[in-house]
A and B are shown apart, each in its own frame.
Chain A
């Protein structure tokens, strides 16, 4: 059941471009998908290690800018008259470098900010996001500032023997995003259902106890931050090459809040949570737009959110698992399975 369901969901989603021809809705699917990737990465930190990072949009934006700049090239003069010129590189390299750079940023932020917990950690991460936004806004030579980076080329991929793909159309971008969603799902699934994931859950539950059984807490928090930032960077890169234009507004706090909403309503600490929450809150604006005025759209968005948080405080996915009784199945070795005659 637990293995079958994600495969069915993947197939169902893969069929969407075959029957959905409306470009507006397809566009909604692609952008929602990109935010779902970001929400999934946030869930690794928020849901599994219990740390609320509000810097997530920074990793997303860093990924977007890195990828765009690698593909577009740049020419900047640093302090001391050092001039750095970068010729445009293939776009797929931009995607890879975006992931690496975001991951490194995750490492640095993690190393610095995991000295503190709780509210202090949240504040450190907000500051980081704000600093990065200000850099993007003011380092005009590199980022064009508010004028935005434009004509970002679409992602292209040359596979030997298979030919050459460019992800220009909405359909092709849909499959690209779906592929990255699936890959992120697999990576996060493997991580959280392993010794590493158990260490993360342990330090979320009771940090002192986790330490006392020999878990190096900082190490696993930083590891979660690196993987999480790298995946968010991948999402940012997809965003840049899909929209073909990015400006410092990608660092808006609103986007971080959107990711947090997706994770919390869907069910933090569950694999499917950010996907379900992401689909709902990605499509509420789209659906509401068809019948409501702009003011009313956001009121509906807020009402729906409050409703979910009140009725299903654990999130949608845990609630569904509870109803159908397919929740956590604690693993157990055959040797210790209770036998009937053992029961007193």
Chain B
């Protein structure tokens, strides 16, 4: 997260020939794309196109039938999700993804798990390292909450937050793992316009911090507004790839997903 913005284009995440079968169903077939360092890339497409499946493959929740995923030169195939996280890739989930029955602050403390330095013995014997580590985590949790802008809610139970704030907390959890790349699965679904605008500001702030972002989202104004590039999926296949303007005018994308209204808007 603290990495400087790279001066030249360097691939961060590389997806090569990924295929996923669920029994006889082909969820993704021969998917190839690259996300460069510091870039914001959106993955769009109709429901069931395989966007979330792609997320699950990248983050180790699902093993692909064929193909290869790598991040900053390290292969992600056969890694468990927590190992993928430790390489600097963090994700959010489509549905509510917070620990409901603990406070907002504790949620972020859980997210900071990997940053803790205390060992079992430090904890059991209350050695100085335990206190030091806890103090650091406390400080960092405050910073993360301030970054996403929900620090005033830190004492409340996560389950009692508004839907929009829960989504923000989900992002805070992912940010707590100190990622260099963030995968956001429909982060603004269910948010109202104000909340979405606030979320876009957060995305821009993260981009300034040098975090690479892969976004799955249906909110087209937002996708068009924040993305450097867009990858369009339909029935498990990539049907188009390019900057927002090119995607808006692409006839195949319009037919499969955006609809005729977008064509008219693109012409105007």
**Chain A residues proximal to chain B, CB less than 8 Å:** 187, 190-191, 194-196, 198-199, 201-202, 205-206, 208-217, 223, 328, 330-333, 335-336, 338, 342-343
Per-position 1/0 for B145-158, Cβ under 8 A of A: 11000011011000
| Interface residue ranges of B83-103 to A (CB < 8 Å) | 85-86, 90-91, 93, 97-103
B116 beta carbon closer than 8 Å to chain A: yes
- Among B86, B97, B110, the residue within 8 A (CB) of A201 is B110
Bound: A328/B93 CA distance, A: 27
Which B residues lie within 8 Å of A215 (CB)? 82, 110, 113
Which B residues lie within 8 Å of A336 (CB)? 105, 142, 145-146, 151, 154
- Among B59, B113, B124, the residue within 8 A (CB) of A198 is B113
Bound: A191/B90 CA distance, A: 27
Most chain B CB within a 10 A radius of its CB, from A198, A328, A338: A198
Contact A214 B99 (CB under 8 A): no
Contact B139 A205 (CB under 8 A): no
Q: Can you add 13 more A-B contacts, CB < 8 Å, to A209-B93, A209-B97, A211-B61?
A: A195-B133, A195-B137, A201-B110, A205-B99, A205-B100, A212-B90, A212-B93, A215-B110, A328-B102, A328-B103, A330-B154, A332-B155, A336-B142
- Among A190, A211, A331, the residue within 8 A (CB) of B124 is A190
The residue on B at minimum CB distance from A213 is: B111
Which A residues lie within 8 Å of B141 (CB)? 333
B233 to chain A minimum Cβ distance, whole angstroms, is: 22
Bound: A180/B189 CA distance, A: 52
Contact A333 B103 (CB under 8 A): no
Which B residues lie within 8 Å of A194 (CB)? 118, 123, 130, 134
B258 to chain A minimum Cβ distance, whole angstroms, is: 31
Contact A199 B110 (CB under 8 A): yes
B14 to chain A minimum Cβ distance, whole angstroms, is: 21
Which A residues lie within 8 Å of B174 (CB)? 212-213
B11 beta carbon closer than 8 Å to chain A: no
Contact A210 B110 (CB under 8 A): yes
Per-position 1/0 for B184-214, Cβ under 8 A of A: 0000000000000000000000000000000
A121 to chain B minimum Cβ distance, whole angstroms, is: 19
Contact B138 A333 (CB under 8 A): yes
Bound: A338/B151 CA distance, A: 8
- Among A196, A211, A331, the residue within 8 A (CB) of B82 is A211
- Among A202, A212, A331, the residue within 8 A (CB) of B85 is A212
Contact B113 A213 (CB under 8 A): yes
| Interface residue ranges of B113-168 to A (CB < 8 Å) | 113-114, 116, 118, 120, 123-124, 126, 130, 133-134, 137-139, 141-142, 145-146, 151-152, 154-155
Question: Which DSSP category, helix, strand, loop or mixed, fits chain B's interface?
Answer: helix
Which B residues lie within 8 Å of A190 (CB)? 123-124, 126
B106 beta carbon closer than 8 Å to chain A: yes
- Among B93, B101, B138, the residue within 8 A (CB) of A331 is B138
Bound: A335/B154 CA distance, A: 11
Bound: A191/B174 CA distance, A: 24
The residue on B at minimum CB distance from A201 is: B102
**Chain B residues proximal to chain A, CB less than 8 Å:** 59, 61, 80-82, 85-86, 90-91, 93, 97-106, 109-111, 113-114, 116, 118, 120, 123-124, 126, 130, 133-134, 137-139, 141-142, 145-146, 151-152, 154-155, 173-174, 176-177
The residue on A at minimum CB distance from B124 is: A190
Most chain B CB within a 10 A radius of its CB, from A199, A214, A336: A214
Bound: A196/B116 CA distance, A: 10
Contact A209 B98 (CB under 8 A): yes
Contact A330 B82 (CB under 8 A): no
Which A residues lie within 8 Å of B100 (CB)? 205-206
Which B residues lie within 8 Å of A342 (CB)? 152
- Among A214, A330, A332, A338, the residue within 8 A (CB) of B113 is A214
Bound: A182/B7 CA distance, A: 59
Bound: A217/B118 CA distance, A: 17
A107 to chain B minimum Cβ distance, whole angstroms, is: 14
Which A residues lie within 8 Å of B59 (CB)? 212
Contact B106 A330 (CB under 8 A): yes
B241 to chain A minimum Cβ distance, whole angstroms, is: 27
Which A residues lie within 8 Å of B98 (CB)? 206, 209
Contact A330 B110 (CB under 8 A): no
Bound: A166/B130 CA distance, A: 37
Which B residues lie within 8 Å of A206 (CB)? 97-100
B121 to chain A minimum Cβ distance, whole angstroms, is: 11
Which B residues lie within 8 Å of A335 (CB)? 139, 142
Which B residues lie within 8 Å of A214 (CB)? 82, 85-86, 113-114, 177
Which A residues lie within 8 Å of B86 (CB)? 214
Contact B105 A331 (CB under 8 A): yes
B160 to chain A minimum Cβ distance, whole angstroms, is: 12
**7 A-B pairs with the lowest CB-CB distances in the bound complex, closest first:** A330-B103, A214-B85, A195-B116, A336-B142, A214-B114, A205-B99, A194-B123
Bound: A205/B124 CA distance, A: 24
- Among B118, B154, B173, the residue within 8 A (CB) of A209 is B173
